[in-house]
């Protein structure tokens, strides 16, 4: 099984689970099991093959599962626990159960499972701003996350290269900022070249509502990101008055850092408050809302007499604290709406944030440890080994990537909260999340290749706390399930011929060089993410 359960004991006997079998128990729990086993044609009823009980003392995501000759018994701490029990039950069945097989029956081996997650945040981040992925691909990804008990989908909805959600209050965002005439195609540190193909797209608010409901039914929480105040070229292409100078920008067609930045003045807060209301109104309950804060170039703030006077009026000695103040003000707005702000680690380094702001330390776990020591909850997101846009081998057989190398084994060996940290700091690590930045992930097939099976290792680490000694063996068996689900994952011995695409150039950005660079930048709020 992947992820590995806390306890798994094999029992004598088995049970034949047939199509149309009855699931009995509390309606909410029964609905969760039906959602976890969509292809088995199970039905709710008063007494049946799968008997469900509620025990809140287990914890909301925990469960117990017993399979014997008389049927299946599930005790769950809540709806989530019942859903994950259903996913574990599914993994006890043959790979063919993941295919549409009407009328089939499956032999379930006798087992006792006692299980629950080590971390509450088990996430994937997808950058839909650099390359847009239609709603159907997001729904499919949610399904695959659910199979692996991953429960946070972080959608990077805006960047210099595009704005990806409808705004009825500010329609130029989706009319102007959602598309660009071309996209950079050059390798890193080579002369710029372009594909001259228009690229764009956005989700309507109805799309967003549908995706959120679909995710909730599968115990996945969508975490929207509106990345501010930097990475603002697309926003300023639509509404240049929101910038410090009012100068026009274009939606960026190349990668890298732009000087485009939103003004920190009250009209920008009013604009973003309206955007937050639109998105939360569509998503429904939104426990987390990411506001970015990374890679901010403050030059235009410093050059603006109006912003400089505003800084002085707030009693701040430099622009760095103003950056943190701006994000703190947005976090206050979100808190009024029942959402906790999430930021990248530069925001923490810039100055004091709201105490309940969640920090994502992409530049390494040392800055994450500092954030934890300061009392912030932390989601581990370091470049190594959780940037899945990096190649899995330093080989031209790999498709084009920003750098190399991050392997399945690297992910499986990751420890989000090292044993050597004080208990108080370790308790602040609430989970981990892999990042799929899409500068070089142009389509769904490449997204599959980059995500799987590395995300299987992430699921193991975040659910079980670490990978088991037999992880490699279990992963090889698990690939049959991915085959049945139609996932175009990277095979363990390298890409298939059609997966090679445009060849990778090994050594462009080796991970070791990136980590050395980041080691020297963890105190610098304006250091750059090496995905350029």
Q: Are 460 and 357 within one domain?
A: yes
Q: Are 73 and 217 within one domain?
A: no
Q: Are 55 and 174 within one domain?
A: no
Query: What pLDDT shows up at residue 516?
Result: 64
The answer to whether residue 526 is domain-embedded is no
Q: Are 424 and 515 within one domain?
A: yes
Query: What pLDDT shows up at residue 509?
Result: 80
The three-class DSSP label of residue 372 is helix
Please identify, among 91, 115, 139, the residue that sits at the C-terminal boundary of a domain: 115
Q: Are 325 and 382 within one domain?
A: yes
Q: Are 108 and 143 within one domain?
A: no
Q: How many domains does the chain have?
A: 2
The answer to whether residue 531 is domain-embedded is no
- Let me know if 231 is a catalytic residue: yes
The answer to whether residue 527 is domain-embedded is no
Q: Are 82 and 136 within one domain?
A: no
The answer to whether residue 104 is domain-embedded is yes
Q: Are 89 and 189 within one domain?
A: no
Helices (H), 433-470: 444-451, 454-464
The CATH number of the domain holding residue 498 is 3.20.20.80
The three-class DSSP label of residue 492 is coil
Query: What pLDDT shows up at residue 530?
Result: 41
Here the tokens at position 468 are: 């088991």
Given the residues 231, 300, 323, 478, the one annotated as active site: 231
Query: What pLDDT shows up at residue 528?
Result: 38
The CATH number of the domain holding residue 83 is 3.30.379.10
Here the tokens at position 100 are: 């549409």
CA distances from 387 to 152, 176, 222, 347, 431 (A): 16, 30, 19, 20, 15
The answer to whether residue 532 is domain-embedded is no
Query: What pLDDT shows up at residue 517?
Result: 63
Q: Are 102 and 217 within one domain?
A: no
Q: Work out the angle at residue 351's Cα, subtended by the Cα atoms of residues 270 and 529, and round it to the nearest 5 degrees.
A: 85
The answer to whether residue 54 is domain-embedded is yes
Please identify, among 64, 85, 115, the residue that sits at the C-terminal boundary of a domain: 115
CA distances from 455 to 113, 167, 187, 463 (A): 23, 32, 26, 12
The answer to whether residue 308 is domain-embedded is yes
Query: What pLDDT shows up at residue 529?
Result: 46
Q: Are 491 and 364 within one domain?
A: yes
Q: How many CB atoms lie within 10 A of CB 297?
A: 17
The closest of 354, 350, 310 to 332, measured between CA atoms, is 354
- Let me know if 41 is a catalytic residue: no
Given the residues 61, 219, 253, 295, the one annotated as active site: 295
pLDDT tens sequence for the chain (532 residues): 999 999 999 999 999 999 889 999 999 999 999 999 988 888 898 888 999 999 999 999 999 999 999 999 999 999 999 999 999 999 999 999 999 888 889 999 999 999 999 999 999 999 999 999 999 999 999 999 999 999 999 999 999 999 999 999 999 999 999 999 999 999 888 899 999 999 999 999 999 999 999 999 999 999 999 999 999 999 999 999 999 999 889 999 999 889 999 999 999 999 999 999 999 999 999 999 999 999 999 999 999 999 999 999 999 999 999 999 999 999 999 999 999 999 999 999 998 999 999 999 999 999 999 999 999 999 999 999 999 999 999 999 999 999 999 999 999 999 999 999 999 999 999 999 999 999 999 999 999 999 999 999 999 999 999 998 899 999 999 999 999 999 999 999 999 999 998 899 888 887 767 766 665 543 333 333 443 3
Burial of 315 (0-12, 13-18, 19+ CB in 10 A): exposed
The domain containing residue 500 runs over which residues? 121-519
The answer to whether residue 2 is domain-embedded is no
Residue with structure tokens 């085959």? Answer: 483
Query: What pLDDT shows up at residue 518?
Result: 65
Please write down the HEC assignment for all residues of 263-326: CCCHHHHHHHHHHHHHHHHHHCCCCEEEEECCCCCCHHHHCCHHHHHHHHHCCCCCHHHHHHHH
Given the residues 51, 61, 115, 159, the one annotated as active site: 159
Q: How many CB atoms lie within 10 A of CB 363?
A: 29
Q: Are 234 and 369 within one domain?
A: yes
Burial of 18 (0-12, 13-18, 19+ CB in 10 A): middle
Query: What pLDDT shows up at residue 524?
Result: 37
Please identify, among 100, 115, 130, the residue that sits at the C-terminal boundary of a domain: 115
Residue environment code for 464-501, b if the CB has 16+ CB neighbours within 10 A, otherwise e: bbebeeebeebbeebbebbebbebbbbeeeebeeebbb
Q: Are 59 and 176 within one domain?
A: no
């Amino acid at each position: 099984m992947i992820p590995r359960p806390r306890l798994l004991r094999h029992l004598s006997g088995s049970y034949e689970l047939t199509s149309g079998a009855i699931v009995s128990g509390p309606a909410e729990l029964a609905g969760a099991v039906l959602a976890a086993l969509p292809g088995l044609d199970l039905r709710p009823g008063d007494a049946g093959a799968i008997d469900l009980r509620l025990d809140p003392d287990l914890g909301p995501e925990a469960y117990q599962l017993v399979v014997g000759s008389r049927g299946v018994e599930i005790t769950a701490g809540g709806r989530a626990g019942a859903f994950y029990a259903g996913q574990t039950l599914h993994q006890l069945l043959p790979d063919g159960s993941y295919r549409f097989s009407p009328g089939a029956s499956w032999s379930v081996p006798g087992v006792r499972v006692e299980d629950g997650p080590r971390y509450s945040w088990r996430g994937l981040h997808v950058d839909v701003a650099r390359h847009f992925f239609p709603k159907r691909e997001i729904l499919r990804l949610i399904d695959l996350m659910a199979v692996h008990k991953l429960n946070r989908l972080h959608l990077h909805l805006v960047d210099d290269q595009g704005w990806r959600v409808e705004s009825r209050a500010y329609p130029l965002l989706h009319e102007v900022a959602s598309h660009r005439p071309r996209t950079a195609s050059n390798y890193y540190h080579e002369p710029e070249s372009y594909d001259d193909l228009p690229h764009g797209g956005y989700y309507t608010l109805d799309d967003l509502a549908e995706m959120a409901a679909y995710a909730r039914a599968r115990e996945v929480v969508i975490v929207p990101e509106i990345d501010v105040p930097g990475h603002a070229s697309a926003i300023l292409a639509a509404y240049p008055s929101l910038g410090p100078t009012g100068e026009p920008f274009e939606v960026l067609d190349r990668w890298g850092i732009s000087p485009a930045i939103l003004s920190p003045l009250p009209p920008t807060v009013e604009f973003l408050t309206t955007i937050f209301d639109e998105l939360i109104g569509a998503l429904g309950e939104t426990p987390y809302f990411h506001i970015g804060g990374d890679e901010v170039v403050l030059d235009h703030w410093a050059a603006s007499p109006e912003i400089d006077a505003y800084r002085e009026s707030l009693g701040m000695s430099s622009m760095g604290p103003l950056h943190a103040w701006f994000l703190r003000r947005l976090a206050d707005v979100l808190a009024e709406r029942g959402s906790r702000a999430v930021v990248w680690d530069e925001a923490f380094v810039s100055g004091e944030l709201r105490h309940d702001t969640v920090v994502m330390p992409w530049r390494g776990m040392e800055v994450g440890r500092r954030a934890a020591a300061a009392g912030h909850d932390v989601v581990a997101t370091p470049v190594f080994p959780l940037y899945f846009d990096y190649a899995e081998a330093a080989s031209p057989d790999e498709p084009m990537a920003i750098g190399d190398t991050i392997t399945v084994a690297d992910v499986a060996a990751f420890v989000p909260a090292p044993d050597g940290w004080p208990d108080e700091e370790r308790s602040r690590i609430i989970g981990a999340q892999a990042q799929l930045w899409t500068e070089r992930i142009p389509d769904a097939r490449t997204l599959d290749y980059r995500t799987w099976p590395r995300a299987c290792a992430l699921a193991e680490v975040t659910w079980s706390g670490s990978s088991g000694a037999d992880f490699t063996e279990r992963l090889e068996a698990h690939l049959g399930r991915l085959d049945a689900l139609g996932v175009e994952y990277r095979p363990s011995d390298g890409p298939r011929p059609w997966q090679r695409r445009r060849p990778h150039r090994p050594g462009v950005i080796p991970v070791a060089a990136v980590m050395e660079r980041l080691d020297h930048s963890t105190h610098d709020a304006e250091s750059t993410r090496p995905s350029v």
